[in-house]
Amino acid sequence: MTELPQTGEVLPPGAPPPPQAKTSGSAVASLIFGILTFCTLGLTAIPGLILGFVGLRSVRRGGGAVKGRGLAIAGIVTSAVGLCLWIIVCVPFALMAMFLTATMHRPLGPHVIALAEPNAEMAAQSMTAMKALVKAARAFAEDHRGRLPTAEEFPEALQSYLKGPMAPQGRAFALNEALAGVRLADIATPQRTVLLFEAEEGGDAVGGRELLRPLDDSEDGYLIGFVDGHVEWVSKEETGQLVWEPEKAEFIRL
């Protein structure tokens, strides 16, 4: 009689069947997370990759008691592919958004600067004109025995010392009336004594602190030209430290 080949181990009668290999939960979860990667903007890709490798490790260590190697590999592949696709799609949009944001906040030219800081150019013009006017007042004093122009002489007497207009268009400067006709040598604190200041256009050209005006209603500082020749922006809080009426000033009227 011909003996048939054995295809497996024959169990003795009454013996219990061998235990079935269990499927790795990590491998199953890896595949689920990998599939969800395409629907979650890639948020489940990293967990899917980690669980896939954990599943492969558990299958290797199980020695046949744990199965799911294919599921783990499928989870790793789907997670990696989904992550790469979302990176390819999302990164260009993120870069474009960053570029547009930076472009919206970056000055593109003089006209944009003027819109963002409407007073910057005007403030610079006022500062330049005030410096020239203070220099002209001191030059006038040098030519007139050290005295400043009188109220009647200001501002016309300084025009010949200036190369351009006395003030920018829409602006006006006034002379501190307490110094009109005063000699520079008689002013005790020239570095803090007000000589010229920005005033209301069309108003009095000679006067006191009541004529002070800021660059515009939103500003809280004033442009001041001092006797010693320097010019600076002075805040409202600091105006109390300015000297408007120097002590022992000698008025010389012509």
The reported pLDDT for the residue numbered 34 is: 83
Question: How is residue 114 written in tokens?
Answer: 């003027």
Q: What is the mean pLDDT of the chain?
A: 79
Q: What one-character-per-residue DSSP string does 82-151 give?
A: HHHHHHHHHHHHHHHHHHHHHHHHS--SHHHHHHHSTTHHHHHHHHHHHHHHHHHHHHHHHHTTTBPPPT
Task: Return the higher-pLDDT residue of 214 and 77.
Answer: 77
- Report yes or no: 190 and 184 within 8 Å, Cβ to Cβ: yes
Strand, helix or coil for residue 232: strand
Instruction: With a cut of 90, say whether residue 143 has pLDDT above it.
Output: yes
Instruction: With a cut of 60, say whether residue 95 has pLDDT above it.
Output: yes
Task: Return the higher-pLDDT residue of 13 and 232.
Answer: 232
The reported pLDDT for the residue numbered 216 is: 62
User: Which helix (H) or strand (E) is 81 found in, with range?
Assistant: helix 69-105
Task: Return the higher-pLDDT residue of 135 and 16.
Answer: 135
Question: How is residue 7 written in tokens?
Answer: 């295809």
Under the banding of pLDDT at 50, 70 and 90, the label for residue 9 is: low
* Helix orientation angle between 69-105 and 25-36, rounded to the nearest 10 degrees: 30
The reported pLDDT for the residue numbered 13 is: 61
The reported pLDDT for the residue numbered 89 is: 81
The reported pLDDT for the residue numbered 118 is: 46
Q: What is the pTM of this model?
A: 0.51
